[in-house]
């Protein structure tokens, strides 16, 4: 306590105020900075996507313009071949003219089906290609180069449509890496349209490399072209061209995302994605778009750090300016706060003395009419009120301790009303019983009782007052006293005892309190049990060798509500080994932390699980089960259990 004031003085309120304002300003600045940073990144990324889309679109348009022009030549040639029969020389001249007409075509061939042009010749495929400024003519087809088994021939034949082939090295014709546009042609034979062969137009990859390599984005961004199977047709890294595919790179880098991007590209999709570039070795962005004619895909790749370099540089400058501004702002706030908080520091020194118990000290005079003056006035009122409160608290504490002492005495008195010596009748070998009560508060409203009416009859009862605390304890004491007094007068069965007790409880019962009661009289020589019930829970009876079940009880309303009420009795015969378990609803309605009830079914299971039917064992097992189920949840009602085990006359010699 004595070190607290000095501890408070070590941390100035001005410094705290400065730090708090600075913290709040930092949060606002950080939120604005992050929002602006995110907005800038989003804007930069959107612009980059737009630029990449335009760049890729322009490149795709250039390539497809050439490809579409190339496609027209073999389509026209196929149409001409279908119109008439051709001589060998005319056919070769026709192919040469096609190369002259379109300088983008590297080579062209007319490959006939085996024996289609000449019934004596398996191969007939004249091929013309460029060789420098000249056009060279050669023939395709040999045992080493069976053109009719190659993809550029088989696929358009089987699919019955023109198509571009995968890039390949043409060993039989142009001796260069190329791609081929193949167009099937047909003739009418015996009134049927019959396949005759393929017209091709070849494009060397050098032409595509010039177009794609001219594409650049930022500092190190580049464009690449992949085929229908994902093979690199063009790429800045020459080692990848026609040697590896995008899927090979994804497999080598164990990059599932890159594999998915490759699948989207070969499907002909358009997209803009972020990925880890295996060639650049850092996060990058890729825009890809399809070339519809050959089914290829063009990608424009650029590194992320180059894209956001300007934004990051601007962000660092803003952070530096903000840091310097924060330092200046902190110093200004501390100076202003020191002047404002000077009266508060004086007030703090005085209130420290109040905290040590000196309530007679005078507070410093503060003439200002602001919050500091109001605070000083309030502290002075607090000092006076605190003195009065401590005096009142002292009196209240004494009164509370006196009440707690009286409640402890009341609990002792209440528990003294209940039988608590077990076994209660050691000389009676025909039966044994045990009871236990745990009130929810210091005093409760549950009751139980048992006593001998004569040398053959045992009276026992259990009850539950509809309340808790001291009122319920008083009502319980009155009920128990009336029950015992009326029962010992003799001549009444359990129903008659209930009726007399009810009449007495109803007299001048202005509080409308009531009690549920079950009582019975056992002839322990014959085993005959006569019992009555006033709104109480039916007891459990467990016959020897059987499962517990509820005892059928006659109907009857609670005691203490309606004076002119008649009650009924019922009877049964107890046999040796039978056990009767009486309980209050504090057992079945006990709650766990989830507010689920213990339930009658769980009580039956607990009673059935006790192999030893001695009353104390049964009662302790039920209490243990209820406590375990409650799992620390507060007890909401009084809990009472009474167990009676009938040994029968055969036990009299024990």
**71-97: pLDDT as tens digits:** 999 999 999 998 888 999 999 999 999
pLDDT of residue 8: 43
- Average of pLDDT values for 52-67? 89
pLDDT winner (highest mean) among 31-35, 146-150, 176-180: 146-150
pLDDT of residue 190: 85
- Average of pLDDT values for 203-232? 86
SS3 (DSSP) at 181:
strand
Asked whether residue 431 carries a pLDDT value surpassing 60, the answer given is: yes
Asked whether residue 597 carries a pLDDT value surpassing 90, the answer given is: yes
pLDDT of residue 653: 42
164 with 294: CB under 8 angstroms? yes
Cα(195)–Cα(14) distance, rounded to whole angstroms?
Answer: 96
Q: How confident is the model at residue 576 (pLDDT cuts 50, 70, 90)?
A: very high
**368-385: pLDDT as tens digits:** 666 666 666 676 677 677
pLDDT of residue 14: 65
- Average of pLDDT values for 552-558? 93
Q: How confident is the model at residue 297 (pLDDT cuts 50, 70, 90)?
A: very high
Asked whether residue 471 carries a pLDDT value surpassing 90, the answer given is: no
Among residues of the chain, what percentage have pLDDT more than 70? 87
Residues 6+ apart with CB under 8 A from 59: 211, 212, 215, 223, 298
- Average of pLDDT values for 460-480? 87
**7-37: pLDDT as tens digits:** 444 566 667 776 777 788 888 878 887 888 7
Instruction: Give me the count of residues in the chain.
Output: 654
**310-354: pLDDT as tens digits:** 777 887 888 888 788 878 887 887 777 776 666 676 667 677 766
Asked whether residue 563 carries a pLDDT value surpassing 50, the answer given is: yes
Higher pLDDT, 408 or 594: 594
Instruction: Order across the sheet with 528-534: list the strands.
Output: 446-452, 457-465, 515-523, 528-534, 570-573
Asked whether residue 120 carries a pLDDT value surpassing 70, the answer given is: yes
Q: How confident is the model at residue 306 (pLDDT cuts 50, 70, 90)?
A: confident
SS3 (DSSP) at 434:
strand
Q: Which of 362-371, 378-387, 630-639 has the lowest mean pLDDT?
A: 362-371
Q: How confident is the model at residue 603 (pLDDT cuts 50, 70, 90)?
A: very high
Asked whether residue 4 carries a pLDDT value surpassing 50, the answer given is: no
pLDDT of residue 328: 86
Prior bond of 197 cis (ω within 30°): no
**Residue owning tokens 């009474």:** 642
pLDDT of residue 12: 66
Helix (H) or strand (E) holding 378: helix 371-417
pLDDT of residue 369: 65
555 with 568: CB under 8 angstroms? yes
Burial class (CB in 10 A: 0-12, 13-18, 19+), 545: exposed
pLDDT of residue 625: 95
Angle between the 256-267 and 246-253 helix axes, to the nearest 10 degrees?
170
pLDDT of residue 5: 46
Q: Are strands 134-139 and 126-131 parallel, antiparallel or unpaired?
A: antiparallel
Query: Comparing C-alpha atoms, which of 435, 441, 439 is closest to residue 404?
Result: 441
Helix (H) or strand (E) holding 389: helix 371-417
pLDDT of residue 277: 87
Cα(34)–Cα(30) distance, rounded to whole angstroms?
Answer: 6
CA distances from 274 to 262, 271, 403, 463 (A): 13, 10, 76, 77
Token pair listed for 171: 């060993």
CATH topology of domain 11-72+215-340: Beta-Lactamase (3.30.450)
pLDDT of residue 389: 73
Higher pLDDT, 8 or 434: 434
Query: Comparing C-alpha atoms, which of 90, 148, 151 is closest to residue 124?
Result: 148
Among residues of the chain, what percentage have pLDDT more than 90? 46
CATH topology of domain 419-651: Phosphatase 2c; domain 1 (3.60.40)
Asked whether residue 501 carries a pLDDT value surpassing 50, the answer given is: yes
* CATH of the domain spanning 82-204: 3.30.450.20
Mean of per-residue pLDDT scores for the chain: 86
Higher pLDDT, 168 or 277: 277
Higher pLDDT, 205 or 60: 60
The CB-based long-range contact list for 279-286 (8 Å cut-off, 24+ gap) reads: 279/236, 279/237, 279/240, 279/249, 280/220, 285/45, 285/48, 285/49, 285/52, 286/261
- Average of pLDDT values for 46-73? 89
- Average of pLDDT values for 255-281? 91
Token pair listed for 556: 């009857």
- Average of pLDDT values for 512-534? 95
Determine the distance from the C-alpha atom of residue 257 to the mean position of all C-alpha atoms in its chain, rounded to a whole number.
26
Higher pLDDT, 617 or 171: 617
**Whether the model pTM is above 0.85:** no
3-state DSSP of 151-220:
HHHHHHHHHCCCEECCCEECCCCCCCEEEEEEEEEEEEECCEEEEEEEEEEEEEHHHHHHHHHCCEECCC
**440-467: pLDDT as tens digits:** 877 778 999 999 999 999 999 999 998 7
Cα(537)–Cα(518) distance, rounded to whole angstroms?
Answer: 8
Bridge partners of residue 224, in order along the sequence: 299
596 with 554: CB under 8 angstroms? no
């Amino acid at each position: 306590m004595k070190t607290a004031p000095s501890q408070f003085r070590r941390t100035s309120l001005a410094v705290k105020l400065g730090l708090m304002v600075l913290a709040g300003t930092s949060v606002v600045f950080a939120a604005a900075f992050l929002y602006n940073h995110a907005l800038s990144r989003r804007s930069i990324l959107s612009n980059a996507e737009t630029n990449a889309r335009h760049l890729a679109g322009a490149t795709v348009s250039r390539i497809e313009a050439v490809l579409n022009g190339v496609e027209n030549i073999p389509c026209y040639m196929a149409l001409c071949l279908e119109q008439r029969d051709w001589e060998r020389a005319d056919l070769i001249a026709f192919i040469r003219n096609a190369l002259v007409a379109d300088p983008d075509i590297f080579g062209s061939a007319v490959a006939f089906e085996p024996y289609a042009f000449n019934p004596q010749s398996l191969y007939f495929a004249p091929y013309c290609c460029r060789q420098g400024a000249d056009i060279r003519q050669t023939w395709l087809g040999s045992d080493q180069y069976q053109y009719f088994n190659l993809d550029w021939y088989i696929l358009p034949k089987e699919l019955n449509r023109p198509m571009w082939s995968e890039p390949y090295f043409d060993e039989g014709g142009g001796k260069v890496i190329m791609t081929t546009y193949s167009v099937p042609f047909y003739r009418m034979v015996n009134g049927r349209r019959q396949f005759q062969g393929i017209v091709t137009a070849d494009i060397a990859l050098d032409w595509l490399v010039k177009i794609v390599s001219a594409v650049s984005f930022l500092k190190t961004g580049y464009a690449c072209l992949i085929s229908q199977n994902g093979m690199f047709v063009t790429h800045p890294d020459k080692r990848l061209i026609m040697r590896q595919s995008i899927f090979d790179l994804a497999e080598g880098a164990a990059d599932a995302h890159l594999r998915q991007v490759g699948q989207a590209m070969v499907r002909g999709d358009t997209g803009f994605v972020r990925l880890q570039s295996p060639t650049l070795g850092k996060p990058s962005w890729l825009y890809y778009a399809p070339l519809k004619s050959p089914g290829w895909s063009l990608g424009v790749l650029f590194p992320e750090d180059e894209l956001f370099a300007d934004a990051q540089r601007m962000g660092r400058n803003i952070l530096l300016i903000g840091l310097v501004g924060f330092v200046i702002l902190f110093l200004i706030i501390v100076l202003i706060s020191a002047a404002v908080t000077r009266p508060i520091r004086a007030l703090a020194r005085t209130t420290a003395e109040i905290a040590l118990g000196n309530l007679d000290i005078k507070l410093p005079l503060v003439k200002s009419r602001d919050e500091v003056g109001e605070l000083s006035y309030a502290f002075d009122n607090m000092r006076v009120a605190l003195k009065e409160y401590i005096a009142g608290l002292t009196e209240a504490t004494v009164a509370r301790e006196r009440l707690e002492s009286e409640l402890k005495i009341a609990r002792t008195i209440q528990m003294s009303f209940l039988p608590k010596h077990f076994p209660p009748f050691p000389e009676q070998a025909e039966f044994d019983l045990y009871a236990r009560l745990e009130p929810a508060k210091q005093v409760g409203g549950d009751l139980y009782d048992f006593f001998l009416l004569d040398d053959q009859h045992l009276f026992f009862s259990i009850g539950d007052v509809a309340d808790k605390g001291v009122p319920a304890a008083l009502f319980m004491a009155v009920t128990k006293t009336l029950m015992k007094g009326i029962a010992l007068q003799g001549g009444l069965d359990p129903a008659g005892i209930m009726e007399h007790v009810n009449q007495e409880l109803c007299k001048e019962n202005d509080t409308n309190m009531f009690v549920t009661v079950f009582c019975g009289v056992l002839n322990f020589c014959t085993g005959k049990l006569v019992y009555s019930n006033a709104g109480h829970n039916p007891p459990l009876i467990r016959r020897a060798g059987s499962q517990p079940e509820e005892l059928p009880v006659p109907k009857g309303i609670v005691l203490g509500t309606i004076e002119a009420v008649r009650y009924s009795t019922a009877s049964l015969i107890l046999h040796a080994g039978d056990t009767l378990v009486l309980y209050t609803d504090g057992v079945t309605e006990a709650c766990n932390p989830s507010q689920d009830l213990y339930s009658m079914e769980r009580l039956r299971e607990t009673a059935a699980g006790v192999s030893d039917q001695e009353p104390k064992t049964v009662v302790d097992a039920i209490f243990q089960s209820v406590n375990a189920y409650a799992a620390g949840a507060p007890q909401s009602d009084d809990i009472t259990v009474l167990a009676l085990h009938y040994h029968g006359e055969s036990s009299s010699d024990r």
